[in-house]
Structure 1
């Protein structure tokens, strides 16, 4: 009996990953992002090859698997990124590119602020390089679905899923990525975080805002793209229950009353983030408890009223 051949193979490691993202001048054409456009992600799930499996269903005199044909090749990367400013008022944060490919316009007021305002036309797209321990995957024409998550005593984060057209895959050295321009985030706390909902100064456990982007892949005769075809923002706020005289969430839900959501995190110049929505309806309260203290989980419908804007994020 011949002994099996032993193979010496250096393992590739998942936590040796770099993600580079840059806005495309022309949709679908490689913007060739560099390490200056590197993202610092956590909780990453990478799907390097997503496809539709087309069955052939040939009529033959024998049964069995006939194989499939793969169509509509694309790729996806899902992640969390910490929400912190650039440290300089009027300078976009490194994660600002994600907002731009997530159906937001970036408005810079020098030395003062950076605003992200919702748009429903002329959206931007990006090229993404995912370098996973020596192998580079290229995604083109990318769009993003985004969700902000804020939990008491936690780090505020932006959760996202980027979808792009399937590009070249090749052996490439790992790029050198520095944390320059990435501030250490402030944890959510009473000292630096506040929220108002329908005018009530909230005592809240958490806030989640799903920007509601509908990202689709389109493979047609003569065209392929990854557009955002619609959006409908929603959210959930878990707040400490009060008496009805203080705030009546049941009546607000029944009559679909609209009010303002105004969330601010941070106090330092260049690292203060404000998220505001003018037309927010609260849903049917669900009763829960934390440490035996009653809370309400309120669904949020974040509406528009005569313009595309439902959410405005401002960094000062």
Structure 2
């Protein structure tokens, strides 16, 4: 029997697919809702004509590893130092954060053609270790009132040839770089859309990063391609005379968007987009209050950044 005690270590690779050997002392990830497949693969079906009914054996092909987990959104504890989750976001298509000592860490999506970041990841269930290299992924975000904000990661990577599965305990894991988050609420969180601060129930985002296994003669890797950042905001519907989001929907106009969470230096998360489109409004009822679910598309119109994170 193997106990379900999950530990994840992840470290940026210097060269794609070359094991960067993450350690518990420096590369532990404080996860929640961990899930993985020890091996994910395709099957080659031969589809032969035979003289009998029944299934034929398939052949395993194109094996890889997939995993997912969530991390809480909190700062590094020191303004000007990058939180641990920024390294994970690099493997999801974002650039390395730009640090200003004592002030902030700023992260945008990497430009096309920039060197792609990948991770080596060791997953442990009890004393069973599974290795992955060349890992890239996509991410989601969730800020819901009365809960902690978190980032959800979905990963795909290669299985290294040397000892990918063995019996090795993780040992001591240092998680002190993962700081305690604060609740999403009226005191800690501000949400703005087109300069207006609605009563917010939740904001959820999907980076929409395309990942695909490339299995070719002479080259095998996980490709991370384009992204399409979208989100939904559930708000109390404003009086139309106060803020007319219906008009923004009808015209396809571009509006500003931001969320800031946290109040203490070193534990403040700020995200912003200069040009967002409202693409749909759905109505619902909550406690006999009219609620709107706004679908938002974060655009790069005019060369603006579609999504910028500032940890400060």
Residue 115 of structure 1 and its aligned partner are, at CA, apart by 1.1
Q: Note if contact 2:284-2:291 (Cα within 8 Å) is conserved in structure 1.
A: yes
Which residue among 207, 227, 233 is the counterpart of 2:229? 233
Q: Note if contact 1:250-1:284 (Cα within 8 Å) is conserved in structure 2.
A: no
Aligned pair in 2 of structure 1 residues 31, 307: CA closer, same or farther (>3 Å)?
farther
Name the structure 1 match of 2:43. Answer: 53
Residue 183 of structure 1 and its aligned partner are, at CA, apart by 1.1
Please list, as runs of the form range in 1=range in 2, the aligned pairs for 1:258-269 lying within 5 A after superposition: 258-269=254-265
* Secondary structure of 1:201's aligned partner: coil
Q: Note if contact 2:233-2:295 (Cα within 8 Å) is conserved in structure 1.
A: yes
Distance in 2 separating the partners of 1:234 and 1:181: 29
Matched, 1:213 2:209: yes
Matched, 1:20 2:9: yes
User: Any idea what the Cα deviations from partners look like across 1:195-235, whole Å, max 9, x if unmatched?
Assistant: 11011122110001111101111111111111211111111
The structure with the larger Rg is 1
Aligned pair in 2 of structure 1 residues 308, 227: CA closer, same or farther (>3 Å)?
farther
Residue 309 of structure 1 and its aligned partner are, at CA, apart by 2.6
Larger mean CA deviation between 232-241 and 92-101 belongs to 92-101
Residue 132 of structure 1 and its aligned partner are, at CA, apart by 1.2
Structure 1 length-normalised TM = 0.93
Gaps of 5+ in 1: 1-10
Residue 306 of structure 1 and its aligned partner are, at CA, apart by 4.1
Please list, as runs of the form range in 1=range in 2, the aligned pairs for 1:274-293 lying within 5 A after superposition: 274-293=270-289
User: Any idea what the Cα deviations from partners look like across 1:6-62, whole Å, max 9, x if unmatched?
Assistant: xxxxx2112x11111000000011010111111011011112211111111223333
Count of residues in Structure 1 that have an aligned counterpart in Structure 2: 305
Which residue among 115, 138, 145 is the counterpart of 1:145? 138
Name the structure 1 match of 2:98. Answer: 107
Gaps of 5+ in 2: none
Matched, 1:81 2:81: no
